[in-house]
Amino acid sequence: KESERMAQIDNNLKKQLAKPQTWFCKYFPKRIRNVGEKEIADRQMVYDFKDGRSFEAVAQMTAASMQEQYGESCKNIVFVQVPASTSPKNELRYKDFCERVCELTGAINGYEHVRVI
């Protein structure tokens, strides 16, 4: 039974990893100090995004990636975020970001359908 369960977990993991994934930078936490200027700038962009400050730049990158991958089919995509840990953080990070990505791509904005409880 244990080997069957492990095979099922492996199969589920394979399904998750087979889904399209895109990342725009490699994030290094501050505790890792030996990084270059680009990595420091990328880290700051992540912090700014999480604080609700740099959503436009990230929205532009996200929209460009979606348009490159899906083209006109973007209009058939419901765009939703992986929620933040709290409702205020979720709104700060994602409300304007999701709206902007959907403006740029024509995707359907699913932001209002995700709740943090």
35 by DSSP, 3-state: which?
coil
**pLDDT mean over 27-38:** 93
Q: Which class for 1: exposed (0-12), middle (13-18), buried (19 or more C-beta within 10 A)?
A: exposed
Judge whether 115 and 72 are in contact, CB under 8 Å.
Answer: no
With a cut of 80, say whether residue 1 has pLDDT above it.
no
78 by DSSP, 3-state: which?
strand
| Residue 69, pLDDT score | 95
| Residue 6, pLDDT score | 65
Reported as a single tens digit per residue, the pLDDT across 44-91 is 999 999 999 989 999 999 999 999 999 999 999 999 999 999 999 999
Tokens representing 72? 């006109």
Judge whether 55 and 86 are in contact, CB under 8 Å.
Answer: no
